[in-house]
Structure 1
Amino acid sequence: MKNIAVIGAGSWGTALSIVLADNHHNVHLWARRSEQVDEINQYHTNSKYLPNIMLSERIIGFTDLSKALDAVEIVVLVVPTKAIRETVQQMTKVLSQPITIIHASKGIEPGTHKRVSEMIVEEFSSSQLLIDVVVLSGPSHAEEVSLRQPTTVTVSSESYEASELAQDLFINKHFRVYTNSDLVGVEIGGALKNSIALVCGLTNGLGLGDNTKAAIMTRGLAEITRMGIKLGANPLTFAGLSGLGDLIVTCTSIHSRNYRAGRMIGEGKSLDDVLASMGMVVEGIRTTKAAHELAIKMNVDMPITSSLYAVLFEGLSPKQATEQLMGRVKKHEVEQVSTNFIEYK
């Protein structure tokens, strides 16, 4: 049994807290809003994010970050990527003991093009407080995890021991955890699939069917793989849980914020109206900006991502984007590069 702080009490942070509590760990669940913490502590619910789900008494809510982090050795960081730096900066000011961070956020930072683990390490660089960073990723909607439906995820770190620690903390009969040594691939797969899910939703909003969705998912995976390889990832990672698995669930599920947001854009709603109506962060929008910048910087061909960027930020209509993608020059699907490696073109 361990004392673990979960920073971020949205749907995913709360669902992961449920898994940890099921495994007999004590959870300090931090949230910004006092009314949310009061609900967690008095009624053992978090109704805005996971309605009709009862929380274990092992889960205790905090608004005071220093109290949430008191006497813990492990922090599970589950905040939107745009809040990673600010949150970690606050943590370094109040921490008095070294910690291992397990993050479950999926995105890339525009401008710097850094992955989440890189942002965390950078913000801890002037202190001696960070032991290891682990990413937890994979096809895992919070709503289903909270109902204890069978779910599989991957954890990855530069430290094999840290990956095994995270695996041991979370694994149980409902929540199966694998380890993967490819930190870059796991984070890139988890981040970039959100952009592809936006496009799948967008095509649904246009009234297009399963053929189109299959094409977007397949060619989207090719884009993700190309970028991942360029950044040093293992291409096999993208055939696994944090690649293909996460792509499938995010591109096809009613629980997916990115899919729902894309569908509304395809139906003709403005980006501002979509974000206002969602009420929660749509990670794929910010990631699309970063991925488009990174594709130009790294000279990686990502036509789906680039077309989505044009729709979101340059005024291209979804219909025009579809026509643009379908009218591209003819190509081979794959090219044999060596006896054991095939490159998606």
Structure 2
Amino acid sequence: MSCIPIAAAESAEVCANCGKDGNGNTTVKLKNCTACYLVKYCSVDCQKSHRKQHKKACKERAAALKDEKLYSQGHERAGVDFCPICLLAIPFLVAEHANMRECCMKAVCNGCSLAVLQQGLDDSCPFCRTKPPQNDDEALDMVMKRVAARDPEAIRHLGDLHLNGAYGLEESKSRAFELLTEAAELGSSRALLKMGMAYYNGWGVAQDKAKGIRYSEAAAMRGCAESRHLLGTFEEDNGKFDRAVRHFMISAKMGRKDSLDGIKEMFAKGHATKKQYAEALKGYQDTVEEMKSPRRDEAVASGYGDDLRRSQGFVLSS
């Protein structure tokens, strides 16, 4: 088999190494370089022979494709960040503006919870109308029912419970990570966030920053604004300011004040432009306005969310 490199391919349908033409030739089956999709090869031998010449261009294109995916996906928040009753996105920090109900694993915003109370209804879940648990055993039973139904957030929450040894469960980091991994595979962006933070910082596992970044990127592409913000801080800490601004821009437009502040600080230091800060500010303000409602404003003014957390406990962390 000839594996002599050709100077340049005249057509996309030729082997980048030996030049065999795949157009209309049933005996030659060309396959893409799956890392970059820039070139095709007729055999593994040709691909190996061409590797040295192709390596630089391949790595550059593969990195560009990864960035294209990273920065183009996850601009809309994940579904778990929306109140299931009013359907509005929940402001940050979510734990201050909503209560996660263990009966259905839905985060109901304080405005909707207050509205139910004002209508004279009891303290049942505003979404599924289940009575609140009276003790840890009842709460755990609720969680386990949702786990049995393969609810990603319930599995993620059970992982948190094992991580902290809550509700009488054995404190087990290994079991917690098994559950977080399972929840992540089922689509939980919060599980990916927690795993990313754990590996990046070495919390309960051997520190592996590269692995932590991969998990954080996966969470960000699924609409996790906190992971997106963390990626911005990672890039800023490494002096990659252009990349940091791109991340902060996305999470600021999703409603995170800390991301907006990050761009503001970078602008003051000359690492971001006035135009970038203005764009982030407008995006942030527009999103904050979209998340407002009279009931939510009333809940904040009355301190209702604080009262609810004290009386029923809270299971959100972002």
- Same fold by TM-score greater than 0.5: no
> Which protein has the bigger helix share?
2
Largest Rg, 1 or 2: 2
> Which protein has the bigger strand share?
1
Q: TM-score, normalised by structure 2?
A: 0.30
Q: TM-score, normalised by structure 1?
A: 0.28
